[in-house]
Amino acid sequence: MKPADIKPEIPFATLASVDIRVGTIQSVHDVAGSSKLIRMVVDFGDHTRNILAGMKKERSDVHAIAGRQALFVVNLPPRTMAGEVSEGMLFDVGFADGIESALLSPERPVPNGTRAG
């Protein structure tokens, strides 16, 4: 695989404004009427959020990620997709490059809500 071209540079302040946190995926649900979307209920320590991701076709069993810790962007505005509201974004890699998707996760368990950076 040849890596994609690097995107244009951004100011460090732009990157520093992104709030990336560890959360544990408590459960995974199909989104009615969508062939791509799933809804994850994610524990961030002091609260839970519903986060939608278009990953149904990326994995043979999307429900297998339940119980796993992963990285999420938590300071995006809520977004309605297929009639449900997503309150963040999951970080995973691979699908855009045509390889099997993988969650981005801490190397060892850390408290939910721990910040990246």
> pLDDT tens for residues 91-104?
999 888 888 889 99
> pLDDT tens for residues 5-14?
999 999 999 9
Rounded distance between C-alpha atoms, residue 82 and residue 92, angstroms: 21
> pLDDT tens for residues 30-50?
999 999 999 999 999 999 999
Strand (E) or helix (H) holding 12: helix 12-16
Q: What is the CATH number of the domain that holds 57?
A: 2.40.50.140
Residue 114 lies in a domain: no
Residue 3 lies in a domain: no
Residue 79 lies in a domain: yes
Domain residue limits at 81 = 19-103
Residue 47 lies in a domain: yes
Report how many domains make up the chain. 1
Q: Among residues 104, 2, 95, which one has the least CA distance to residue 54?
A: 95
pTM, entire model: 0.92
Residue 111 lies in a domain: no
Q: Find where tokens 């993988």 sit.
A: 102
Query: Residue 65: its pLDDT value, please?
Result: 96
Residue 55 lies in a domain: yes
Residue 46 lies in a domain: yes
